[in-house]
Chains A and B, each alone.
Chain A
Amino acid sequence: MERRVFTYIALALLVWGISGTATAGYYFVQYRMYWNEYRHLSNLMEFVSLRVNILVTYGNGTRAWFNNTVLPINATAFTAILAVADVKYEDYGGDAGILVTSINGLAGDSTHGWFYWFWDAEGLEWVYQSYSCAARILHGGDTFAFTYQSFGITWPPPFSP
């Protein structure tokens, strides 16, 4: 191949290299800028939201953790499970409140149902909750579980954190 062709190929590669480097630099700066924006907004969101850990166990050994789930302040255990799963429920109103009847297609029957538990970080144990999950106001860092199990609740619960 003659020298002239090489010259033009070299020129084209030079243009490509410089333009590509400058464009990569541009997008790197954009990336850093938007990443900082994201961090800033995340910090702001900490004041109007909370993060909780949610465990769903299906009674057959299958477990699903939803760690660091972001929820608005004043969220309840019920709105939290609504946020991460396909939930069916019945609203009995008043003190009875809402009862979760099905999570992700697994519905309760005459022998089994959905229960929810809270992790006591001080006592280091799961605590069964006997009232509606809609009445439980969440706090940042809370960990709770919905379990599919027999109505005859036994201690300890059929899972560990």
Chain B
Amino acid sequence: MQPQAPRQLVLLTVLTALCIGLQLSPRPPNVEFTSLIVFLVGAVFGISFGVSLAFLVMFVNGFLSPWGFAGFVLPFQVAGMVAVGIGGGLHGRASSGSHGARLCVETAVLGAFLTLVYDMVTNLGVAASYALTGMPLHLALASTFISGALFSVIHVVSNAAVFGVVFVPLSNALRRLSGGGENWKEESLLT
């Protein structure tokens, strides 16, 4: 096992707990920070880390969500959040030349796009669950996308704002925090 692995495992666990805590906390409908954290982790630690966090968070959330067991929609929620993690990883690779306001705008646009992708994938899952009950698929798709439109707009706009404002300072802080031995003093806790 690589020397970084235990540290990353701890980080994955802590961030998963943070995301679940945020998911369970009272908040306006469709305003959430899980996708930001998954995107951020993907950008800072790579695609595999982002995907792992996305899978773990949405899997646990599917069982503990205040809305109840996600059931048939759970794999779609996981897939949608995995897309956010992959997007974060790709953004982390591609944004090395960007900084400042431009990076904020790029991240906001990407956040809005990935949020829309997440919403569309989960709406697809809801529509599929309707279709399983006998509703024609095209009708299930139309009713799901249209009835969820306003919630989706709230989700997209709020995430665009959150990604644009929070991502850059948070990613800088996370990079410094995980910078290696100089930040992580290897000494006994019992000093």
Contact = CB atoms under 8 A, between A and B. Distances in A.
B146 A22 contact: yes
A153 interface: no
Contacts of B105: 8
Contact of A25 (B110, B145, B156): B145
Interface in A1-39: 8, 11-12, 14-15, 18-19, 22-23, 25-26, 29
SS class of chain B's interface: helix, strand, loop or mixed?
A: helix
A26 B109 contact: no
Contacts of B142: 25
B29 to A, nearest CB: 15
Contact of A11 (B113, B145, B147, B153): B113
Interface in B131-188: 142, 145-150, 152-153, 156
A15 B116 contact: yes
Interface in A70-107: none
A14 B147 contact: no
Contacts of A29: 146-147
Contact of A15 (B109, B146, B148, B150): B109
Given A26-B146, A26-B147, A29-B146, A19 B152 contact: yes
Contacts of A11: 109-110, 112-113
Contact of A23 (B106, B116, B120, B149): B149
Contacts of A18: 116, 120
B181 to A, nearest CB: 35
Given A26-B146, A26-B147, A29-B146, A19 B109 contact: no
Contacts of A26: 146-147, 149-150
A23 B116 CA distance: 13
A15 B156 contact: yes
A8 B146 contact: no
A50 to B, nearest CB: 39
Nearest to B113: A11
A14 B113 CA distance: 8
B11 to A, nearest CB: 29
Interface of A: 8, 11-12, 14-15, 18-19, 22-23, 25-26, 29
Given A12-B113, A22-B146, 7 more contacts: A8-B110, A14-B113, A19-B149, A19-B152, A19-B156, A26-B149, A29-B147
A-B pairs, top 5 by smallest CB distance, nearest first, are A22-B149, A26-B149, A25-B146, A15-B112, A12-B109
